[in-house]
Amino acid sequence: MVLVVLEKPTCIMLFLLKSEQIQELHWHVLLQTDETSTCHFSKQSNIAKLLKDAKIIIWDEAPMTHKNAFQAVDRSLRDLMSSVHLSYAGKPFGGKVVVLGGDFRQVLPVVKKGSDQHQSGDTLVINPHLHCYYIKDYSGIVEIAFGNMSMMASPMFFTDTTTILAATNAAVDKINDLALAVFPGDSVVYLSEDEHIIDSALSSDTPIEYLNKLKPSGMPLHELKLKVNQPIICLRNINPRQGLCNGTRLVVRNLMRNTIEAEIAYGDHQGNFVYIPRVSLHSDQDTADLEGKLSRRQFPVQSAFAITINKAQGQTLRNGIVSLLDPVFSHGQLYVAFSRVTSANHLKVVLPKAENEQSRQTTNCSEKG
Q: Over 50: is that where the pLDDT of 12 sits?
A: no
Mind listing the pLDDT tens digit for each residue in 86-126?
A: 888 888 889 888 887 776 666 666 555 555 555 555 666 66
| Mean local confidence (pLDDT), 154-179 | 82
Q: Smallest Cα–Cα separation from 144: which of 160, 164, 125, 127?
A: 164
What mean pLDDT, rounded, does the chain reach? 79
Q: What is the pLDDT of residue 266?
A: 84
**If DSSP states are collapsed to H, E and C, what string results for 238-269?**
CEHHHCECCCCEEEEEEECCCEEEEEECCCCC
Q: Over 70: is that where the pLDDT of 363 sits?
A: yes
Q: Over 80: is that where the pLDDT of 235 sits?
A: yes
Q: What is the pLDDT of residue 180?
A: 92
Q: What is the pLDDT of residue 356?
A: 62
Q: What is the pLDDT of residue 17?
A: 44
Q: What is the pLDDT of residue 164?
A: 95
| Mean local confidence (pLDDT), 184-212 | 89
Q: What is the pLDDT of residue 289?
A: 73
Q: Which of 54-63, 193-202, 257-266, 304-313 has the lowest mean pLDDT?
A: 54-63
Which positions ≥6 away from 320 have C-beta within 8 Å? Answer: 162, 163, 164, 165, 337, 340, 341, 346, 347, 348
Q: What is the pLDDT of residue 65?
A: 76
Which positions ≥6 away from 173 have C-beta within 8 Å? Answer: 215, 221
Q: What is the pLDDT of residue 54?
A: 79
Q: Which of 19-28, 91-100, 308-317 has the lowest mean pLDDT?
A: 19-28
Mind listing the pLDDT tens digit for each residue in 128-161?
A: 555 555 666 788 888 888 875 555 555 555 555 7
Task: Label residue 257 by pLDDT band (50, 70, 90).
Answer: very high
Which positions ≥6 away from 361 have C-beta within 8 Å? Answer: 351, 354
Q: Over 90: is that where the pLDDT of 10 sits?
A: no
Q: How many Cβ atoms from other residues are within 10 Å of residue 346's Cβ?
A: 15
In angstroms, the CA 175 to CA 114 distance is: 48
Q: Over 90: is that where the pLDDT of 308 sits?
A: yes
Q: Over 80: is that where the pLDDT of 294 sits?
A: yes
* Percentage of the chain modeled with pLDDT above 70: 75
In angstroms, the CA 78 to CA 95 distance is: 8
Q: Over 80: is that where the pLDDT of 307 sits?
A: yes
* Percentage of the chain modeled with pLDDT above 90: 33
Claim: this prediction has a pTM higher than 0.85: no
Q: What is the pLDDT of residue 192?
A: 97
In angstroms, the CA 146 to CA 229 distance is: 14
Q: What is the pLDDT of residue 9?
A: 35
Higher confidence at residue 120 or residue 206?
A: 206
Q: What is the pLDDT of residue 148?
A: 59
Q: What is the pLDDT of residue 278?
A: 96
Higher confidence at residue 364 or residue 62?
A: 364
Higher confidence at residue 44 or residue 124?
A: 44
Q: Over 80: is that where the pLDDT of 285 sits?
A: no
Q: Over 90: is that where the pLDDT of 284 sits?
A: no
Q: Over 50: is that where the pLDDT of 79 sits?
A: yes
**What sections of the chain are H helices per DSSP?**
46-53, 67-81, 116-121, 138-145, 149-152, 169-182, 208-213, 309-312, 333-338
